[in-house]
């Protein structure tokens, strides 16, 4: 908008807009200039929103790295403690196998044991030695991984063994709302990436995120998953309604189709991220469910073998069984305990994986 004006008065009383070289001059000039470019199409607003979304995407990616590192530290630490327990149990098994071999060797020398019995005893001892070396190697590797995760050289980092470590497994709620996944860094980053490409997408965030209940035993509750792809929104159905939202000012048909194609690609990426997150959580819930059942079964086996070992010791004191029979039963007890502790360790690591898949926990 512009406005300008000028007035001049000569000595003869005439008025002119021109300036002369003689006479009395009285000149008045006024100029008003204004410039305003309205944001009719929301380009400035969308540009700001897009920049904000890009920054939020970067924050989500950083949060994802932090969550990944924290989960890796917890998982490797639990695995290391599992190896501590394995080392203790395998060392005990090796000691018992050595005692049994000595007994069989003496019996073989006396002619009361066969060569086959001697070979079996030797094989059992050698196997326990090999298993112990495997656990020691794995422990060192987990320790090295922890060193790297905390930013230290493996040679400068060590974790003292704890053979009495007890695994504590947190129990997730029976039902987990799928909305917990909205705080997963990869889901947030994918949504913010879409928002950066199309600032309008943020308005419909709540509408296109599926609402489901995730359970540890039956998976998705009800038939909500069946209607996942029929929700009335473009993210899941990829319908034609988006053009009216983005270009409600009326743009050319070619521009509309181009925007739709670009948005469809972004929407497909977001949808794939959400579905992968749902699968990740469901896999971890399933693993925890089966590992818990397995741990319960091994607990029963361990308890029964404790009773059997106690009975064998009592019979040994009474002189009704041999020392060899007691040692053999003790080996069975140690193996039952190892199965139980290994499953408990896997269950603890499964809980860490579930917490990570939920974006940091199951608390709302």
Following DSSP, what letter does each residue of 54-108 receive, concatenated?
Answer: HHHHHHHHHHHHHHHHHHHHHHHHHHHHHHHHHHHHHHHHHHHHHHHHHHHHHHH
Q: The pTM is what?
A: 0.71
Q: What's the mean pLDDT in 290-294?
A: 95
Residue 348 has pLDDT above 70, yes or no: yes
CB-based burial label for 187 (10 Å; 0-12, 13-18, 19+): buried
Q: What's the mean pLDDT in 265-280?
A: 85
Cβ count within 10 A of residue 40: 7
Buried b (16+ CB within 10 A) or exposed e, 320-355: ebeeeebbebbbebbbbbbbbbbbbbbbbbbbbbbb
Residue 325 has pLDDT above 90, yes or no: yes
Residues 6+ positions from 353 with CB-CB distance below 8 Å: 71, 75, 284, 287
Q: Residue 183 has what DSSP assignment? A: G
Q: Residue 274 has what DSSP assignment? A: H
CB 29, CB 7: distance < 8 Å: yes
CATH class of this structure's domain 43-357: mainly alpha
Top mean pLDDT of 181-185, 239-243, 280-284 is at 280-284
pLDDT band at residue 9 under the 50/70/90 scheme:
very low
pLDDT digits (tens, 9 = 90+) for 109-131: 999 999 999 999 999 999 999 99
The whole-angstrom separation of Cα 319 and Cα 314 is 9
The whole-angstrom separation of Cα 173 and Cα 216 is 8
pLDDT digits (tens, 9 = 90+) for 187-200: 888 877 777 766 54
The whole-angstrom separation of Cα 244 and Cα 79 is 54
- Would you list the domain boundaries of the chain? 2-33, 43-357
Residues 6+ positions from 320 with CB-CB distance below 8 Å: none
Specify the pLDDT at position 42: 55
- What is the distance of C-alpha 125 from the center of its chain? 41
């Amino acid at each position: 908008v512009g406005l300008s004006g000028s007035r001049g008065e000569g000595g003869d009383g005439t008025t002119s807009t021109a300036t002369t070289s003689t006479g009395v001059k009285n000149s008045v000039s006024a100029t008003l200039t204004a410039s305003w470019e309205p944001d009719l199409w929301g380009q400035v607003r969308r540009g700001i929103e897009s920049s904000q979304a890009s920054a939020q995407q970067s924050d989500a990616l950083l949060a994802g790295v932090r969550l990944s590192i924290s989960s890796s530290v917890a998982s490797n630490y639990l695995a290391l403690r599992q190896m501590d327990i394995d080392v203790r149990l395998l060392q005990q098994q090796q000691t018992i196998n050595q005692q049994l071999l000595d007994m069989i060797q003496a019996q073989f020398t006396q002619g009361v044991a066969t060569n086959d019995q001697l070979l079996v005893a030797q094989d059992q001892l050698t196997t326990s030695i090999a298993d112990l070396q495997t656990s020691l190697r794995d422990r060192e590797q987990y320790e090295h991984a922890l060193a790297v995760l905390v930013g230290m050289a493996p040679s400068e980092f060590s974790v003292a063994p704890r053979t009495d470590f007890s695994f504590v497994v947190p129990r997730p709620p029976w039902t987990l709302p799928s909305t917990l996944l909205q705080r997963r860094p990869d889901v947030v980053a994918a949504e913010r990436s879409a928002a950066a490409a199309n600032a309008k997408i943020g308005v419909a965030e709540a509408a296109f995120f599926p609402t489901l209940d995730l359970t540890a035993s039956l998976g998705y509750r009800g038939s909500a998953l069946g209607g996942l792809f029929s929700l009335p929104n473009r993210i899941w159905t990829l319908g034609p309604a988006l053009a009216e939202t983005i270009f409600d000012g009326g743009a050319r048909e070619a521009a509309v189709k181009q925007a739709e194609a670009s948005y469809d690609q972004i929407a497909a990426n977001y949808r794939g991220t959400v579905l992968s997150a749902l699968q990740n959580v469901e896999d971890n819930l399933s693993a925890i469910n089966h590992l818990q059942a397995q741990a319960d079964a091994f607990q029963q086996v361990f308890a029964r073998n404790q009773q059997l070992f106690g009975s064998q010791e009592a019979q040994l004191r009474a002189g009704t069984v041999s020392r060899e029979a007691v040692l053999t039963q003790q080996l069975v007890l140690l193996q039952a305990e190892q199965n139980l502790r290994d499953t408990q360790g896997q269950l603890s690591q499964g809980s860490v994986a579930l917490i990570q898949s939920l974006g940091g926990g199951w608390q709302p």
